[in-house]
Amino acid sequence: MHISVVIPVFNEEKSLDALYSELRGSLDSLPSVKYEIIFVDDGSRDAGGDKLKAISAKDGRVKIITLARNYGQTAAIVAGFDHASGDYIVTMDADLQNDPRDIPALLEKVNEGFDLVSGWRRERKDRLISRRIPSWLANWIIRRATGVRLHDFGCTLKVYKKAFIKDIRLYGEMHRYIPVYVGRIGGKIGEVKVNHRSRQYGASKNGIKRIAKVIFDLFTVKLLLGSSSTSPLYFFGSWGLGGILLGLLCAFIALAQRVISGSWAAGNYLLLLCVFFIIAGFQVIFMGLLAEINIRIYYELGKRPIYSVSQKTNL
């Protein structure tokens, strides 16, 4: 088995030595496994880049991709995917909250015939209000909307068969939706309970505000992967018809008020507000759709990457 471990890094200087040591211990214990470790420095502003170079100088299996600036976790993961040579790709965080000792269990699950195996942080060591409750809510929404029965979409610790992800194009914050894409093309998805540890250094880069991004990306995933991706008129037409019927209902109520009480429709501020919100809402939706289509054309037809590499080491 040839595996590539992809680790996005952003300002995790204090964690890197311990992470590398634990990874070596876990991966060296696997029999008949060839591996590489790809650190993707996502525009870190600390001394983490120098520390990674020192590690790479001692171990040729450690590869470094240095991005020109901070592009975000999804772009960093994509950069790792693009440069991975393994048939299986493991992703994990650099903050030591994911336990490298769980990697053998994930690989063992893959060998049972799964194409993607996700970690499940059943006992999370994060703050209840700012991390665990938003995560639970986001996972519940994604399960209900996509039909993919994973408990923990946000867990970075996952194993992928490269054949199932090599053609997936990711944007925004969509790395958490990779299981949805894999399931869409017929991949078999599994889940393993993993150890989750308290953060030792630094502060989390995620929070409650991440839920808004999750929900917006979910709308995009549903649109692009659902039946509306091939017949958007049905999707938007149904909403448009609903708006028209609502407008007719408002007009009927205004007319009834005119007949019954003698009030003019022009003086009915509720009717005016209803018309305004319907028109404004659909303008926003259609502008969002056009923007999404345009950005897909920009990236796909032009084959433009979503990140820029400033330096590579051992690659």
- Beta strands across the sheet bearing 158-161: 189-193, 116-120, 158-161, 88-91, 2-9, 34-41, 62-67, 309-313
Most confidently modeled of 120-129, 173-182, 219-228?
173-182
Please give the structure tokens belonging to residue 191. Answer: 């889940």
**Portion of the chain with pLDDT greater than 90, in percent:** 43
N-term to C-term CA, the chain? 20
- What is d(CA 218, CA 224) in angstroms, rounded to the nearest whole number? 10
CB under 8 Å to 246, separation ≥6 — which residues?
A: 274, 278
Per-chain mean pLDDT for the chain: 83
pLDDT at 261: 73
Q: In the prediction, which pLDDT does 292 show?
A: 66
Write out pLDDT tens, residues 179-203. 988 988 888 999 999 999 888 776 6
pLDDT-based confidence at 230, cuts 50/70/90?
very low
Mean pLDDT, residues 137-163: 89
- pLDDT at res. 99: 95
Output the pLDDT for position 34.
94
pLDDT at 57: 94
For residue 65, give the 3-state DSSP assignment: strand
Residue whose token pair is 């965080």: 93
- Residue 172 pLDDT > 80: no
Please check the confidence at residue 165 and state whether its pLDDT lies above 90: no
Poorest-pLDDT segment among 52-56, 154-158, 276-280: 276-280
Q: What is the pLDDT of residues 200-214, one digit of tens each?
A: 776 666 655 666 777
Mean pLDDT of the region 272-286:
75
115-132 confidence digits (pLDDT tens): 999 999 988 877 777 677
Report the pLDDT averaged over residues 161-184: 85
pLDDT digits (tens, 9 = 90+) for 51-64: 999 999 999 999 99
Q: Which of 44-58, 162-176, 220-234, 264-278 shows the lowest per-residue confidence on average (mean pLDDT)?
A: 220-234
Considering only residues 135 and 9, tell me which one the structure prediction assigns the higher pLDDT.
Answer: 9
Query: Tokens standing for 72?
Result: 């975000």
User: What pLDDT does residue 303 have?
Assistant: 62
Helix boundaries (H) for the chain? 16-28, 48-58, 73-83, 103-110, 133-146, 162-165, 178-184, 210-225, 232-261, 269-302
Mean pLDDT of 238-249: 72
Give pLDDT, residue 78: 93
Residue 264: pLDDT band (50, 70, 90) is low
CA 9 to chain centroid, in Å, comes to 16
Query: Using one digit for the tens of pLDDT, what is the confidence trace for 286-310?
Result: 766 776 676 667 666 666 666 778 7
